[in-house]
């Protein structure tokens, strides 16, 4: 006998659209409101919803903390890496103009990569923070602590 069957089903139905929406915000950020940071938060909140409904153990199975930590470092590393790519292609640090033959296309590539790095870092950081807090829930609150 499952409790909250409706909620479980609703959450299951909601999570894929949220992830899809996060990707839309990520890649449509150049044209409308949005960008890496917002997309990262929405992406993470989909996982947080999953964790809320199905429990922390299940969330850990899907997104283990060690992997999340590495992703966090990788996201920021990607941003810095794009910066170094600017130096390597003969421009200044974070200069995207030479990432492609045409400066404007280069800017597009640079902004795309940078936003991707931000999105990765933010999503994984939020998830890591949530997992850290959730992992500590070991004590029962009594009624009069309310």
Partner 1 sequence: MLAAGVISVLGAMVLALVRLFLGPSTYDRVLAVNMFGTKVILLIAIFGFLTGRPDFLDIALAYAMINFISTIAILKFAGYYKITEPMTRPPASSTIPARRPG
Partner 2 sequence: MVNAFTSSIGHFNYWASVLLMTSGIYIVLSRGNLIKKIIGLNLFQVSVFMLFISMGKVTGGTAPILTGRHEIFSNPLPHVLILTAIVVGVATTAIGLALVVRIKYAYGTIEEDEILALDLAREQMDARAQ
Partner 3 sequence: MIRQHLAILQVMLPMLCAPLCVFARRPVIAWLIATAATLFALAGSFILFAQALNAGVISYHLGGWAPPWGIEFRLDAANSFVLIIVSLVGAVCMIYGRDSIPREIKSSDQPLFYTMMMLCFSGMLGVTSTGDAFNLFVFLEIFSLSSYVLVAMGAGSDRRALTAAFTYLLLGTIGATFFVIGLGFIYVLTGTLNMADIAVRIAGMSGSGTLHVGFAFIIVGIGLKLAIFPLHLWLPNAYTHAPSVVTALLAGTSTKVALYALLRMLYTVFSPDLPFEALILHYLFLPLGLTAVFVASIIALFQSDVKRLLAWSSIAQSGYFLLGVSFANIGGLTATLVHMFNHAIMKSSLFLAVGCVVYRTGSCSVASFRGLGQKMPWTMSAFVIGGLSMIGVPATVGFVSKWYLVLAALERGWWPVAFAIVAGSLLALFYFGRVIEAAYLQPSPENSAVTEAPVSMLAPLWALTISCLALGINSELTVSTARAAAEALLAPHAGLPAHMGP
- Tell me which residues touch partner 2 (CB under 8 A): 31-33, 37, 122, 129, 132-133, 136
Binding residue for partner 3 (CB under 8 A) from 7, 8, 12, 84? 84
**Which one of partner 2, partner 3, partner 1, none is in contact with 101 (Cβ closer than 5 to 8 A by kind)?**
none
CB of 73 to partner 3, least distance (A): 4
Residue ranges in 77-136 that form contacts with partner 1 under rule CB under 8 A: 133-135
- Give least dist CB 50 to partner 1, A: 10
Q: Which stretch binds partner 1 (CB under 8 A): 28-36, 68-76, 82-90, 121-129?
A: 28-36
Q: What are phi and psi of 143, to 5 degrees?
A: -60, -35
Smaller CB separation from partner 1, 52 or 74: 52
**Residue 50 neighbours by CB under 8 Å, 6+ apart:** 11, 15, 58, 59, 62
- Name which of 29 and 86 has its Cβ closer to partner 3: 86
Q: How far apart are CA 100 and CA 86, in angstroms?
A: 11
Within 13 Å, how many C-alpha atoms sit on residue 13's CB side? Answer: 6
Q: Tokens 């006998």 belong to which residue?
A: 1
Helix (H) or strand (E) holding 70: helix 65-88
Give just the sign of the alpha carbon dihedral 73, 74, 79, 80: positive
Q: Does 56 interact with partner 1 (rule: CB under 8 A)? A: yes
């Amino acid at each position: 006998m499952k409790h909250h069957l409706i909620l479980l089903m609703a959450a299951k139905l909601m999570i894929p659209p949220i992830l899809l929406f996060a990707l839309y915000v990520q890649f449509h950020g150049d044209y409308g409101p949005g960008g890496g940071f917002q997309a990262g938060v929405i992406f993470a909140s989909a996982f947080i919803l999953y964790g809320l409904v199905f429990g922390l153990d299940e969330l850990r199975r899907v997104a283990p903390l060690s992997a999340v930590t590495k992703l966090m470092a990788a996201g920021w590393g990607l941003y810095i890496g794009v910066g170094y790519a600017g130096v390597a292609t003969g421009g200044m640090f974070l200069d995207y103009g030479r990432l492609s033959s045409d400066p404007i296309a280069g800017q597009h590539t640079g902004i795309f990569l940078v936003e991707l790095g931000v999105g990765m870092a933010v999503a994984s950081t939020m998830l890591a923070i949530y997992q850290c807090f959730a992992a500590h829930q070991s004590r029962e609150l009594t009624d009069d602590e309310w």
